[in-house]
Structure formats: C-alpha cells, structure tokens
Structure 1
C-alpha cells in the first residue's frame, strides 16, 4: 500500500503577499463606512476624523529598520479601488491612506505620571481631547443605560479607569468615534469579566471555568435545539459581564467581517484559558516558575485588543496574511510586552489588595530568590527584551511582506503598544510606582 502523499506546504509570507491584489478586489466591497459601524442608537452623532497632526501621527511612525513599501504599479481599475472614495468626509473610508503630504506632527506632550525608570517605551502625543470626551460620554451611557454594567458605588472607579483616553490613545488611526467605540465596549466588557469573575468585585478561582464558558457563549453563540435555545438566550442577561459581552459583540460583528469576528473570538478563548491557568495556581496556592508564568501571560494578556486594530482602523487585513506565523508572532510579542507593562505599573496596587496576586516581579522574587527591588528591576529587563524582539520581528516582517495592508496593520499594533504604555503611565488614579529608585 503506497504511503499517503503529504499535503502541499502552506504559503509563505511572500507568496501570500503576491496574492494581495485579489484580496484588495474582494475587500473593496467590505470597506467599513460610518453607516456600518453606528456606535449607538439611531441618530447618535459621529465626529469627523481628526487631521493628521498629533494623535494620528503615531500611526505613521515607521517600523524600526523597515524599508519603504514599493508595491508594483497597479492597473487603472485596481488603482481606483486602492484610492477609495473621494469627496467631503470620505478620508477615513479609503483602504489605504493616499500618498499626500502630511502636516508635521507635534512633539510628544508631557504626560501626567512618571514612567517606570529604565523601561523602554516611546513617548506619544496627547490623545485628541475632543475624541476622548465623546468616547467617555458614549461608553458611560452604554454601561449605564444599555447593559447596567455597574452599581452606583462603582462609578468613581469606572471614571477613574479613563477608558476613553485609553482607547483614543491606542487607536490614533480610527476614522470615526464609532470605530473607536467598537474597541471601547469590548475593553470595558473584558474588564467586567476580569473584575467580577476573577478579581476585584467578587471574583474567585472557584467555579471560574463554568462562568467563563457561559460568558464565552455571548461571543461565540450557542447552537442548540429549539427547546433549549430560549434558556441560553435568557442566560446572556443573567449578569453584568454576560450582558456586556453580548452587547459589545453585537456591535462588533455588525462592523467586522466574518473573519475578523472569528479571529477575535479565537483570541478571547486564549484569554479565558489564561484566566483558568492563573485560577488553578491560586486554588493550589502555587507560585509557578518564571517561564511558566510568562507562558500563562502569553494567553492572559492584551492580545485581543491589538488583534482588532484593522477593524477599528476601518479596513481589513486578509485572513491568510493575518494568520501567517510571522504576524502571529508579532501580535503575541506585542501582547506579552504590554501585559508586563501592566504588571509593573499595577505592582503596588496589587500588593495593597487582599490575597496573593501573582505578577512578574512577585514570581521572580520568589522563584529566583531576589529582593523585591531586584526582582522588579529584572522584570523591567524582561519587558525591554520583549519590546526589542517585537520591534525587530515587526521590521523583519515588513521587509519580508511588502503588502501595504501588512505595513498599516503593523503600524497600528505599534501604536497600540505605545498608547497602552502611555495610559498606564498617565493613570495616576489607578497606579503608582514602588519606591525602588
């Protein structure tokens, strides 16, 4: 009996990029416009996209060492598709920005708060205050009026989270406030699950798997028999986290392609798996090895946020390009680095909280026998190594895959990384640094 033939090898990045023209033709029918992503009830205002001056300039930051992309000259028809619609108010609807002269960006503004000394990061311009105010207004209305997310005595904490500033800073290329709201609702919903199921507001490792599974069905719908479908549908309103997941995902799927929505569900499953690993350690009162903790953090991290950067930016990176191992590595490194940023800035907050919170400095101190100070400083080094790896891998990928959409996506992920640090540094309501210097 002859041995079965091996399947043909999967396409490499250059091969995937060579098919990019066909993807553009298909994607042209799916350019996201403001009508597809209405971020509230009918008639809700939509702010115009800001000029490319301050906040938007970060998205144009070139990748370290990346050459300028030089795509082959397209045909007249393809060039028209790439150019996108024209006229008043259509700048955010184009697949890719036009090669137009840009207004020089302003210098990074002074940010409230002190950065962790020695932490490798990029200063960013102050997020657009008009957008911050509008996103903050809309997200609070959604939380209170649409999903009843929190009781009255949590209002100060909700306001202190400054999620409007967070999301505007992380997505400087979002064409409209409606696009920003896609990410903002998901961020708030994810934090509700973390707080209410895992940590601050009644969370517990006991029974976490069941709660996460039922909440995940608000993102990845259950298909069951007619007899039991109504009971599942009713369960989506059972608690604040599930209400938030259901509503945020409904907005998202109306704006995203099927591929973008499924990609997000996959990364949320990764997140929930990371929650369960941390919960298991808590139940066993176990401190993992440092490498084990970092493995958990590759799943329990910010990855779902930068993975939707194209949806929030109003375009789509084709699925076979997004799924390439090189791009997945870049996204994973971005998630790992930004999550260690959270470990470092939330260190004193977690030490003051009840219970034993695992974070990278705590794990290094216990497993490697270092003082609290030396463990914290070593954690800064771990972050810096991850950041340098992220930037070098992104630059190598940009050179290997000269597709404009890949370059735009990489710039969006880099902007998310920088915006995430800026929010942690500036959020002095939530975070303060230890006295190690």
Structure 2
C-alpha cells in the first residue's frame, strides 16, 4: 500500500511557543540582528478551558515592556503551521461528546500558565482583535467513554489509511517476526487497536515506517508488562531477574567471547525478549545514538517502577498516596512521548532534552497519561484476579474515602497534573524558543492527547464505573 503521507497535527500545547518566538525574533530584528525568513503562517491560538470564565480585557496584564505591538511579516513561528485548535475540555456530566470551539490564529499575545484544578489554564496579555477562522470543531466520538469533570482535549480521528497500514504491519511483525502470542490471544491483540493508538499519538510522522518504530516498541513494552508482571502469567516473584535479562535486549551486554554467545541466544528465549530485541533493532536504525541512549534510560526508569509495584504486591503493601505517585512517575508512559522526535524524523539535541525544565515537562506528561490509564482501566482491574493498585484504590484506602470519592479525587489529581504539564510547557517554550524545542513540546502534547483519545475510545478494553 502506498504511503498516504502525514496527517494534520493537533496539540494541547498553549500558543505561547509561537507567539513568544515571534516576539523574541521581532525584538532581535529591531536591534539589527539577522532573522531567518521562514513561513509566516502562525498556528492557531488555544482558548481558555471551557470550565474557566474569560478574563476581562481590563484585568489582563499589560504586554512586556519593549514588546512590539505587532509582529512583522516574514518572522518564523517556530511551530508547524498545521496545528489545530482543540480546546481544553472538562467533559460534561451528561452527553456523549465534548466539542471544542475553534480559535483564530493570533501571534499578538502571550498566554501564561497558572496551574491547579479550578484555576484558569491561561491568563492573557492584551491583544488586538482578529476575525475568526472557519475551522470545524472537533468532537469526541459518539460512543466514547466520558468521565465527567476530566480535563482533556478532543482530537481529530486518526488517518484511517495509516491506521489500516500500521495495523497490518504490526500484526505481521508480531506473528511472523517475533512469535509474540499464541493463537488464543489474537482477539486481545486486535482489540488493543495499537495502529489507531500510534497514528493518533504521532500525526506528524513523515512515513508509515516512522510510525512503525513507535508501534513495535509500544507492543513490546506491553508484552513485557503483561507476560512478566500482570495479565498473562506475570508475577512479582522473580520479576527483577526477568526484567534485567529483558533490558539487555535494549541495552546490550558486552562480555567475553566465551559468554557473549550465550547471552545473545537468550534474547530469543521468550516472547518479551524477542519483541524487545527486534523493536530496538528497528528503532536504532531510525534514531540517533543520543536518542537511543535516551530511550534506554527511560526504559530503565520504567523497569524500576515495575519492580516497586511488584515488591508492594509481594508484601501486600498499600503505599501512601504520595508513594504511589512516586512509583507511577517511573512505571508510566514516559518512554513513549520521549521518542516523539525520532518518530517525527528530527532530533531534539541531547543537551536540550537533559535540561531540568524539559525533564519536568516529560515527567508531568507521563504522570498525567498514566493516571488516565488508572481511571479508564479501573473497572477492568477490579474484575481481574488479585488486588490491583491504582490511584482511586490507593486514595480510597489511605484517605478513608468511598470508592466513588476515591475515583473522583483521582480525576482531580489528573486535572492538576495536566494543567501543571501545560503550564510547564508554556514556560519552557517562552524561555527557550528554539524550533526543535517547540516542535518537541508540541509532539509531547499531541502524544498526551492521543493517549487519552485511545483510552476514551477503546471500548473493547475499557468501561467506566457506574458513579454517575
């Protein structure tokens, strides 16, 4: 099947990146510095969350001293021009969808990001009025699972041509290349809908093969989780040894000539190691050495989180809420958005990725995504054998809440994390308006939205508790 080309981008990242870049470069131009001439089309600016009242014009802070009143033509925005305008949405208590009104392109104001549940997601500096652009609103699918009060962003449906192609290729890889699962698991594999998941999370991937890099890793990571830790025979007993050997499929052993072949043979010993080995081989062909090393580091974080959760299960320990959140910062989705530049066909330089502000953005993004998983998988985990730790369960136990109140408090925690993530992204974009930084921040925000979309629409795997 021919490559259908890239899909449009969408993002939850506030418009601070583009507008701040334009201001910085306009100021540079005013002082006689050379300014590169890039496309003038600016991304659409995001509106306030729908559950937050608009800020009256009289109360908005003044523009920074010395900032130009308008942006000259010809200045770069620093972000892809195809950004869509999905507005932050608190899902309604009743109704199957949440609709995001469109917002016009407007680089003449700077959003700032106070965080925390119930606060304004952005406060606005004064800006000139602009006519609205005729952009179609984006709504949640009619059969989507709606969690009342959850803070999220509607996204366009992923490109169906790419979804079909990725789904075909990943099934072929899983069955023919790595023999990932027996025949009776096929329905669960198909129901995971990993093609739709990855296309929604990486709409800027230049080719299907770039998408496949992320898709293989996602499937391999889930195989390790299911087979070593959870649903398909997983156990905390001996987990450390299994994870260590599997990790060497990502971070290879360098040993003596006598023992190296035995290690290499061990990488084919079980499905998780076969999947890790193959997915990583494809990844390093597409990634730079620094991107590959970054991914290995984040996978080590993930495995450490698996071990902490396994240790608690083995000793029947319910952690404090803050302890659970520590574990979830490691046992979370972080390795997925951290490769957004590899999948997008560019590189965020290692020194910029390592900045504490960028690390905070990535941690908050991973944390928010993981609490989304706790919320949507809540009933699935309750129906599984044994006791599964998730945030609603821990909150109910440690804060003496009912099941319903524990769940609703977990929604609040998620919302705080999301707003903190968006504020941290806007702050970083403002102080470091480097094009690769801005594109990477946008890619992470797109991944966060795509991850929520997949959970919300995957009714094969998920259902919601009857709390409303």
Counterparts in 2 of 1:127 and 1:366: CA distance versus 1, 3 Å: same
**For the residues of structure 2 that align with 1:184 and 1:336, how far apart are their CA atoms?**
21
Query: Residue 107 of structure 1 aligns with which residue?
Result: 137
Counterparts in 2 of 1:99 and 1:164: CA distance versus 1, 3 Å: closer
Counterparts in 2 of 1:431 and 1:167: CA distance versus 1, 3 Å: same
**For the residues of structure 2 that align with 1:98 and 1:433, how far apart are their CA atoms?**
36
Deviation at 1:69, TM superposition (A): 1.6
Residue 318, structure 1, aligned to residue 270, structure 2: no
Match of 2:10 among 58, 66, 73: 58
Counterparts in 2 of 1:212 and 1:356: CA distance versus 1, 3 Å: same
* 8 Å CA contact retained: 2:239, 2:307: yes
* 8 Å CA contact retained: 2:13, 2:445: no
Query: Residue 152 of structure 1 aligns with which residue?
Result: 183
Deviation at 1:62, TM superposition (A): 5.0
Match of 2:224 among 193, 204, 213: 193
* 8 Å CA contact retained: 2:229, 2:235: yes
Which SS does the other structure have where 1:56 is aligned?
coil
Query: Residue 231 of structure 1 aligns with which residue?
Result: 262
Q: Please, what TM-score do these two structures have when normalized by structure 2?
A: 0.76
Counterparts in 2 of 1:68 and 1:278: CA distance versus 1, 3 Å: same
**For the residues of structure 1 that align with 2:274 and 2:228, how far apart are their CA atoms?**
13
Counterparts in 2 of 1:361 and 1:99: CA distance versus 1, 3 Å: closer
Match of 2:412 among 381, 390, 403: 381
**For the residues of structure 2 that align with 1:356 and 1:258, how far apart are their CA atoms?**
40
Residue 216, structure 1, aligned to residue 247, structure 2: yes
Residue 49, structure 1, aligned to residue 1, structure 2: no
Q: Which structure's residues are more often helix, by fraction?
A: 1
**For the residues of structure 2 that align with 1:173 and 1:297, how far apart are their CA atoms?**
28
Deviation at 1:48, TM superposition (A): 3.7
Long gaps (5+) in structure 1:
1-44, 81-95
Query: Residue 390 of structure 1 aligns with which residue?
Result: 421
Deviation at 1:402, TM superposition (A): 1.0
Higher relative contact order (CA 8 A, sep 6+): 1
Counterparts in 2 of 1:348 and 1:253: CA distance versus 1, 3 Å: same
Match of 1:120 among 141, 151, 168: 151
Deviation at 1:68, TM superposition (A): 4.0
Counterparts in 2 of 1:239 and 1:101: CA distance versus 1, 3 Å: closer
**For the residues of structure 2 that align with 1:100 and 1:156, how far apart are their CA atoms?**
36
Deviation at 1:271, TM superposition (A): 0.1
Deviation at 1:109, TM superposition (A): 4.3
Matches within 5 A, 1:283-294: 283-294=314-325
**For the residues of structure 2 that align with 1:101 and 1:304, how far apart are their CA atoms?**
24
Q: Please, what TM-score do these two structures have when normalized by structure 1?
A: 0.82
Deviation at 1:151, TM superposition (A): 0.3
Deviation at 1:108, TM superposition (A): 1.7
Deviation at 1:316, TM superposition (A): 0.3
Query: Residue 359 of structure 1 aligns with which residue?
Result: 390
**For the residues of structure 2 that align with 1:101 and 1:201, how far apart are their CA atoms?**
40
* 8 Å CA contact retained: 1:48, 1:175: no
* 8 Å CA contact retained: 2:321, 2:394: yes
**For the residues of structure 1 that align with 2:82 and 2:452, how far apart are their CA atoms?**
30
CA distances 1:177-196 after superposition (whole Å, capped 9, x unpaired): 11000000000000000000
Counterparts in 2 of 1:240 and 1:120: CA distance versus 1, 3 Å: same
Which SS does the other structure have where 1:69 is aligned?
helix
Match of 1:162 among 169, 190, 193: 193
Aligned residues: 372
Residue 250, structure 1, aligned to residue 201, structure 2: no
What is the root-mean-square deviation of aligned Cα atoms in Å? 2.1
* 8 Å CA contact retained: 2:305, 2:331: yes
CA distances 1:20-76 after superposition (whole Å, capped 9, x unpaired): xxxxxxxxxxxxxxxxxxxxxxxxx551423xxxx52304x6525443423467979
CA distances 1:8-30 after superposition (whole Å, capped 9, x unpaired): xxxxxxxxxxxxxxxxxxxxxxx
Counterparts in 2 of 1:293 and 1:181: CA distance versus 1, 3 Å: same
Which SS does the other structure have where 1:373 is aligned?
helix
Query: Residue 61 of structure 2 aligns with which residue?
Result: none
Matches within 5 A, 1:168-187: 168-187=199-218
Which SS does the other structure have where 1:298 is aligned?
helix
Match of 1:273 among 304, 317, 323: 304
Which SS does the other structure have where 2:311 is aligned?
helix
